[in-house]
Amino acid sequence: MKTAEIKRRYLAHFAANDHAVVPSAPLPAINDPNLLFVNAGMVQFVPYFLGQQTPPFRRAASVQKCIRTPDIDEVGKTSRHATFFQMNGNFSFGDYFKEGAIPLAWELVTKPVAEGGFGLDPERIWATVYLDDDEAIDIWRRTGMPAERIVRRGKKDNFWSMGIPGPCGPCSELYYDRGPEYGREGGPEVDEDRYLEFWNLVFMQFERGAGTDKENYPILGELPAKNIDTGMGLERMASLLQGVDNLYEIDEVRPILDRAAELTGKRYGARSGHAAAESDPDDVRLRVIADHVRTSLLLIGDGVTPSNEGRGYVLRRIMRRAIRAVRLLGWQERALPELLPVARDCMAPSYPELADDFERIAQYAYAEEEAFLSTLRAGTTILDTAIAETKSTGGTSLSGAKAFQLHDTYGFPIDLTLEIAAEQGLRVDDEGFRRLMADQRARAKADAQARKTGHVDLTAYRGVLDAGGPVTFTGYTEVSRESTVRALLSSGGEAVAAAGEGETVELVLDTTPFYAEGGGQQPDTGLITVGGGQVEILDVQQPIPGLIVHRARVVRGEVRSGETGFAEIDISRRRAISRSHTATHLVHQTIRNFLGESATQAGSLNAPGRLRFDFNTASGVAPSVLADVEQQVNEVLLSDLEVHAFITSQEEARRLGAMALFGEKYGEEVRVVEVGDYARELCGGTHVSRSGQLGLVKILNESSIGSGVRRVEALVGIDAFQFLAKEHLLVSRLAELYRVPSEQVAERVEQTVTQLRDAEKELEKLRAQLVLGGAAALAAQARDLRGVAFVGTEAPEGAAGNDVRTLAQEIRGKIDPARPAVVAVTARANGKASLVVAVNAAAKGRGVSAADLVKAALSGRGGGNADLAQGGGLPAAEAPNLLVTIEKALAEA
């Protein structure tokens, strides 16, 4: 049975049992500060389980795309670990509980294939339950599971929580016995390779408190509404129904693996057994390639691009592991153009958008492979140098710091460092490397923990929302209105009855015209007059869906909760922001017109009179293209197109061709904003009513803000006019100074800059001649210090660092090579003193080292080698003392 068919049957089974079928959320966990990626089927339903939102359905089913990377090193080595997987889930929000969830699972997995089920042999299914969950055991027995195949397990295996205070509860897992060829008999506790887990039923019935770890926390009591969260691993079920050993051999993965084997000349499975522990290393690498290429396809498909931080870093690491594995197997050419199309063909039956968007996906993937191959070349050169230096000093081990630098700075894989070092007869301080990596992870974890808000921090907001329901936003059609103050919150998040003049509070109205920051649009500001008091609105946010919170300062009188007031936004600011937001839509569409549909939005800022638009593209935008984009946008303004917004279904919006943002999760109903027939986009922001109201859009610049992400900044309306007016005055003044027409100013400025650069080069030559001119005379004046010819001098003030080094070497070269010689040259620049010491071979033979002399003079600072060393940083007045210190060191040697 194909994986896509398993998915279809799962959803059909639960749809027939009154479950709402919910689409998969995008892989980036946009709305969860605790996650980089969605890592479980229940993530998009967390607000319902926590009571932050009222679910639009009592029961639901989904097939969720998931990413998990903590066990990335185990990928390919077991039958259970994969970076990307799909979790089939069915959920109940206070509806059915154990007595409903267990029979629904049993029915689907044991029902014959001809009747729409999976047809698993019920005699080979085992269940695990939590230690004291007699209720679940009783239901399993009544469903048809014999007692000898029901296993009680502890909190580590069969009790679930989110890892923070909140819902928790026992769980029950289903396992399938794959037979004696896969391992030992005795059930899941004995061998989890033979007995493969494929379904987990979580019974959310308790609330937990804070604890010390995953197993030690108090149970505070039962939840008011009991929920069900179950998950069936789609890939695991596919491996069972397709009769293969592991998830790497199912129909969505095996073709990628086979293509990798074909490229590298390997024969998959030739030297491996059925059990994962019996896998040949080459087969493990082939599995890593297949898993990581598929994962990369899905991540880029959901809008993630390779970078050095966050989600992009995870993607980069996954891609580079795959590329590295291919090369270790013997394929030295570009691999992704051979493998990614195969992954597309495997996954398109379930996710047709991957085929539609493949041009964009491939553009990023292939560029990343090319960049990594360059990294490998550069890293190999650096590693070769480090190996040579280690050998030259008689060392046998490459330092952990060097291995870490290669990994952290250059992206050079540690396994490659180990392999190349071993080929050269060196070992690597692996322990030191791991320690540095652990330190880095600890810092990152501490930073992430410091930035987390977590769901528990929203308690006060949830209380306000539960008490009064969602706040109604009326700002699309009005800029002022009467409203009632529903709640006042102090800066500490506590409800207060009143706030006096000078205090800053958070204020919630029952209805508001104030736009809360979102979708790149800055929030409204303005005033709210309540009774005899007045507050200035400084910021507006939506901390949880449905609740609009105004951060305000009381500027007059007193404001009390429950009072009715008059809210009015700053109209000038709103209009300026709305112009910028409409301009962003036009810039987005126009860039796509010129660069293709792969140029998708990656972020934006809509502020009064200005905009910032980030978009995905593999290379920079030519100035001529940017000029064309600007011209086309302004032609749209001249057309004075109507701007129209309307609510429709997601399906209808897609049919109309409305653009959506990567990684955003939209509800069933969406708001579409159209600018005539020119641009159509899903958007919750505010806009002008006609494009002509923008007046003018002036693009200021275009730049890179990360790998594959570019940024355009522009001015809109009166701000654009003022900018052009200033530029006109500037150009007019330059034309007057140069006595040329305005159109020739750029050429004359360029000529002036060229002349200045030529003059600077000539000055540098003169300075160098001045510095080096006295080298011979200085060498002739060398003094003898215990058999060493010593020259100590100060370079002319302002001499460049290169000139100072050259002077020291020049003086050294003019002293008889047979005579031991030390040359010390100081310099003063920018209020600091620097020192360069040069030592000839004869002096080195007597044990004199330039590096030692510099460090002695600079109290341990400075760097270099025995021939030439330098340092600095002391106050300029210390320059003569440096020479005295060097002379003294030589005299006492």
* DSSP output for 128-190: EEETT-HHHHHHHHHHT--GGGEEEE-HHHHEEE-SSSEEEEEEEEEEEE--GGGS-SS-TTT
User: How far is 496 from 518, CA to CA, in rounded Å?
Assistant: 27
pLDDT > 70: percent of the chain:
94
Binned at pLDDT 50, 70 and 90, residue 96 comes out as: very high
User: Which neighbouring-strand residues pair with 168?
Assistant: 161, 206
Residue 580 predicted with pLDDT over 80: yes
Contact 410, 382 (CB under 8 A): yes
User: How far is 318 from 332, CA to CA, in rounded Å?
Assistant: 18
Give the closest residue to 705 by CA, choosing from 808, 831, 620, 782: 620
Structure confidence by residue, pLDDT tens digits, 426-483: 888 888 888 888 887 676 655 544 433 333 357 788 888 888 889 999 999 999 999 9
Task: Sort 872 into a burial class: Cβ within 10 Å, 0-12 / 13-18 / 19+.
Answer: buried
Residue 454 is predicted with a pLDDT of 37
Task: Sort 734 into a burial class: Cβ within 10 Å, 0-12 / 13-18 / 19+.
Answer: middle
Q: Residue 434: count other Cβ atoms within 10 Å of its Cβ.
A: 14
User: How far is 506 from 492, CA to CA, in rounded Å?
Assistant: 10
Residue 678 predicted with pLDDT over 90: yes
Radius of gyration in angstroms for the set of CA atoms belonging to the chain, rounded to a whole number: 35
- 821-829 and 564-569 strand pairing: unpaired
- The phi-psi region of residue 636 (left if phi > 0; otherwise alpha if psi is between -120 and 50; otherwise beta) is alpha
Binned at pLDDT 50, 70 and 90, residue 798 comes out as: low
Listed in sequence order, the residues at least 6 apart from 769 whose beta carbon sits closer than 8 Å to its beta carbon are none
User: How far is 867 from 772, CA to CA, in rounded Å?
Assistant: 20
102-109 mean pLDDT: 96
Residue 637 predicted with pLDDT over 60: yes
- 219-233 and 558-560 strand pairing: unpaired
User: Which token pair is 178?
Assistant: 């794959």
Q: Is 451 helix (H, G, I), strand (E, B) or coil?
A: helix
59-73 mean pLDDT: 87
Residue 253 predicted with pLDDT over 80: yes
Binned at pLDDT 50, 70 and 90, residue 200 comes out as: very high
Question: Quick one: three-class SS letters along 511-547?
Answer: EECCCCCECCECCCCEEEEECCEEEEEEEEEEEECCE
Residue 791 is predicted with a pLDDT of 93
The winner for highest mean pLDDT among 61-65, 375-379, 392-396 is 61-65
Backbone angles phi, psi at 440, to 5 degrees: -65, -45
Sheet holding 601-607, edge to edge: 601-607, 610-616, 709-716, 697-706
Give the closest residue to 254 by CA, choosing from 271, 268, 241, 264: 268
Listed in sequence order, the residues at least 6 apart from 687 whose beta carbon sits closer than 8 Å to its beta carbon are 578, 581, 582, 585, 643, 645, 673
Q: Which of 29-33, 328-332, 472-476, 805-809 has the lowest mean pLDDT?
A: 29-33
741-750 mean pLDDT: 91
Structure confidence by residue, pLDDT tens digits, 618-635: 778 899 999 999 999 999
Residue 419 predicted with pLDDT over 90: no
Angle at 635 between CA 633 and CA 640, to 5 degrees: 100
- H or E segment at 612? strand 610-616
367-378 mean pLDDT: 81
Residue 448 is predicted with a pLDDT of 46
User: How far is 61 from 219, CA to CA, in rounded Å?
Assistant: 28
DSSP-derived letter for residue 24 is P
Treating both helix axes as pointing N-terminal to C-terminal, what angle do 745-772 and 718-738 enclose, rounded to 10 degrees?
Answer: 60
pTM value is 0.63
Structure confidence by residue, pLDDT tens digits, 495-542: 899 999 999 999 999 999 999 998 899 999 999 999 889 999 999 999
Strand extents, DSSP E, 365-523:
397-398, 427-428, 472-473, 480-489, 495-496, 498-500, 504-509, 511-512
DSSP-derived letter for residue 246 is S
Contact 101, 148 (CB under 8 A): no
Q: Which of 98-102, 269-273, 390-394, 688-692 has the lowest mean pLDDT?
A: 269-273
The chain-wide mean pLDDT, for the chain, equals 88
Residue 663 predicted with pLDDT over 60: no
Give the closest residue to 9 by CA, choosing from 122, 118, 92: 118
Task: Sort 164 into a burial class: Cβ within 10 Å, 0-12 / 13-18 / 19+.
Answer: middle
* DSSP output for 300-327: HHTT----SSHHHHHHHHHHHHHHHHHH
Residue 275 predicted with pLDDT over 70: no
User: How far is 296 from 320, CA to CA, in rounded Å?
Assistant: 10
Residue 664 is predicted with a pLDDT of 58
Listed in sequence order, the residues at least 6 apart from 353 whose beta carbon sits closer than 8 Å to its beta carbon are 301
Backbone angles phi, psi at 634, to 5 degrees: -70, -25
Residue 449 is predicted with a pLDDT of 45
Residue 668 is predicted with a pLDDT of 73
742-747 mean pLDDT: 90
Q: Which of 130-139, 153-162, 290-299, 625-634 has the lowest mean pLDDT?
A: 153-162
User: How far is 535 from 806, CA to CA, in rounded Å?
Assistant: 68
The winner for highest mean pLDDT among 120-124, 368-372, 814-818 is 120-124
Residue 476 is predicted with a pLDDT of 95
Residue 767 predicted with pLDDT over 80: no
* Helix, strand, coil % over all residues of the chain, rounded to 5: 45, 25, 30
Between residues 40 and 97, the one the model is more confident about: 97
Backbone angles phi, psi at 543, to 5 degrees: -65, -35
Residue 387 predicted with pLDDT over 80: yes
Structure confidence by residue, pLDDT tens digits, 778-795: 888 899 888 899 999 988
